[in-house]
Amino acid sequence: MQYLEISISVPPELVEEVADICIACGSGGVSIEDPALIQSYLAQGQPDTVAPGLYEQMAALSGQPQVKAYLPCNAQLPERLHHLRQSLAELLPPGAGEVQVREVADSDWAREWRKHYHAFPVGRRLLVKPAWEELLPEHAGRLVLELDPGMAFGCGTHASTSMCLELLEEVIKGGETVYDVGTGSGILAIAAARLGAVQVVACDLEQTAVQVAQENVARNRLAEKVQVRQGDLLSWADRPAQVIVANIVAGVILALLPQVGSLLLPGGHFIASGIIEGRQMEVLQAVKECGLAVHKLLGREEWYALWAVKPGKEWS
């Protein structure tokens, strides 16, 4: 399938809003290239924070942050692209928000991705392993999450995803029902099942992400535990869960919170990530207003993840 890659140059303070617009227009996720952040890593001598092979390329970036989104080239593309441009024009000041587009094939994406994506440990127990790599002896004893992200978002290398995985390690004790909202590649749903959840429902608005997540679930032989479905936030859910996880963006998390408050069992856990620096206090306040108690806040690079608990007696 062909995809339209949309690169938008935006002022730093509007990155989050532009990311929200891209997701609302049908992109399964966004990537953000922030030259100031990369240059800070360069100054601090932290090349390991950038994927191998991309360090020199990223260090040469200059100018405003770039928000990149990917829309499938299908019958809905003209309408989605029109809505995207219209929303950007309403948000951004005149002269801001240069938009560049180019077509890319998912096969081209996959070939490029494989050059830079290798197995790596996360937290105390997990290992994220590309489907095309063999398991090495030094990885023995870890719970393996085997992935081919394709055109879906969520491969574990991004700070927001790795923080979610680490929090899931703390939350999942065994026997839980878990909802994974905006599953992307399915990495968090697979991790929850590997850690001991007995039932996981993963959802995504984009059919491409649903297909990729289903393939990854099958690849990990977890089809009996993990169901992947297409849906908008938690509108499809008809019963409560012990754990809800959402690695999306702040604006979508805020819209999701009323559903979380009603669907989370007493003593249940909510993990949210993808919160860009500058919006964490807004999300924390909304979480508290929803009746949840914030248990932990993690910050890494320019991203935040939180773990909140719904008051009440925990299930047995």
* Domain ranges, ordered by start, for the chain: 2-112, 117-309
What pTM, to 2 d.p., does this model score?
0.71
Class of the 2-112 domain?
A: alpha beta
pLDDT of residue 274: 86
Mean pLDDT estimate for the chain: 81
| CATH 3.40.640.10 for the 117-309 domain, yes or no | no
- pLDDT value at residue 67: 84
Within 8 A by CB and 6+ apart from 167, the residues are: 271, 273, 296, 298, 305, 307
SS3 annotation, 30-93: EEEECHHHHHHHHHHCCHHHCCCCCHHHHHCCCCCCEEEEEEECCCCHHHHHHHHHHHHHHHCC
Is residue 236 a contact partner of residue 265, using CB atoms and an 8 Å limit?
A: no
Predicted confidence (pLDDT) per residue in 18-74, tens digit = 887 887 777 766 777 766 554 454 455 544 444 444 444 444 445 678 888 877 788
**What pLDDT was estimated at residue 284?**
95
